[in-house]
Amino acid sequence: MPGPCLSCDRRGEQGLTHCSIGQSCQDGVLGAGSREGSGGRLQTARFASFSSFLDGDAEAFNLLSGPVVRLRKGEVLRVEGAPNPDVYRLRAGWLACSVMTAEGRRQITKFHLPGDLVGMTSLAAHEATETIEALSDAEVEIVPLDAFAEVFNNHPRVAALLFLWSQEERVRLMHHLAVIGRMRSSKRVGALLLLLYQRAQLSAPSRRTSFTMPLTQQDLADATGMSIVHANRSLKDLRERGLVTVVDGLVKFRDLRGLIAYTEVPTVSKRRTDWI
């Protein structure tokens, strides 16, 4: 089933079931330790929003598997610049990808949740393009490059879905860049919380306007390009506006429609995929 959106005209538990983030919505909750589907199989819901799966698609996706690596919270899976980087499939937990600026500051570029393929950008480089760190206890599989070769050569429809997924990631990164470069601090934090909520819904759709996340205020600051002091002030501002609260990792949207309007998160529409 498609992941949730945060705004449309249909009415739901809090007056809406869709949103300007651009997926079909179910008001969601996801725990930081959520796992993939039974047997650890690749969570096809992460990709199924593009198109209904045909016979054999799920089996082809599950070719992208390999040895399991378990991580503790705070453990680094790999560092930026490491040679011969691997690609991973996230089975459980949350990961953050980051780069280090010339001034020695950490900039989080991406968050990954169960079902994601992690480290794909390094396929085009001899060295790792980013550092990957566990924000919670996590479990990944190392996906051998041979598996990608098999999928691309023998399952072109699935290869096309992977291409669409990479373009979706590119759009998300564009929005992230716009948020950091052009929004005031409280809008940056609010937009990030909305985008994390949308992504959490892809892994575990639900009907509640809340979710849990393992991010610290430092993580929020490093993802939005501000100091931890400004991140804390931004959370306070959002709370005083009656939009959202964050307490011990539990994010509760008090006025989801109001937060969407306040942050002006851009609408992303899905194109037809019947050409695949």
Write down the domain spans for the chain: 38-263
Q: How many residues does the chain have?
A: 276
Is the pLDDT at 206 greater than 80? The verdict is: no
Report the CATH number of the 38-263 domain. 2.60.120.10
The pLDDT of residue 216 is: 94
Is the pLDDT at 19 greater than 90? The verdict is: no
Closest among 130, 35, 147, 139 to 81, alpha carbons compared = 130
The pLDDT of residue 42 is: 44
Does residue 33 sit in helix, strand or coil? coil
**pLDDT tens digits, one per residue of 247-274:** 999 999 999 999 999 998 776 666 677 7
Confidence of residue 68 (pLDDT cuts 50, 70, 90): very high
Confidence of residue 98 (pLDDT cuts 50, 70, 90): very high
CA dist., res. 109 & res. 29, Å (int): 23
Is the pLDDT at 180 greater than 80? The verdict is: no
237 exposed, middle or buried (CB, 10 Å; 0-12, 13-18, 19+)?
Answer: middle
Question: What percentage of residues in the chain have a pLDDT greater than 70?
Answer: 78
> For helices 217-224 and 228-240, what crossing angle results, to 10°?
100
The pLDDT of residue 276 is: 76
Residue with token string 């480089």: 125
Average pLDDT over residues 18-31: 34
The pLDDT of residue 194 is: 92
Closest among 169, 149, 174 to 64, alpha carbons compared = 149
Confidence of residue 26 (pLDDT cuts 50, 70, 90): very low
Which of 53-62, 79-88, 136-145, 216-225 bottoms out in mean pLDDT, i.e. has the lowest?
53-62
**CA neighbours closer than 13 Å in the CB half-sphere of residue 22:** 17
CA dist., res. 33 & res. 212, Å (int): 9
Confidence of residue 44 (pLDDT cuts 50, 70, 90): low
CA dist., res. 103 & res. 113, Å (int): 29
> What pairs with residue 62 in β-bridges?
none
The pLDDT of residue 35 is: 56
Residue type, 264: E
The pLDDT of residue 29 is: 36
The pLDDT of residue 169 is: 80
Considering the chain, what is the average pLDDT of its residues? 80
The pLDDT of residue 34 is: 52
**DSSP codes, 219-247:** HHHHHHTS-HHHHHHHHHHHHHTTSEEEE
CA dist., res. 162 & res. 153, Å (int): 13
Does the reported pTM lie above 0.85?
no
Question: What percentage of residues in the chain have a pLDDT greater than 90?
Answer: 52
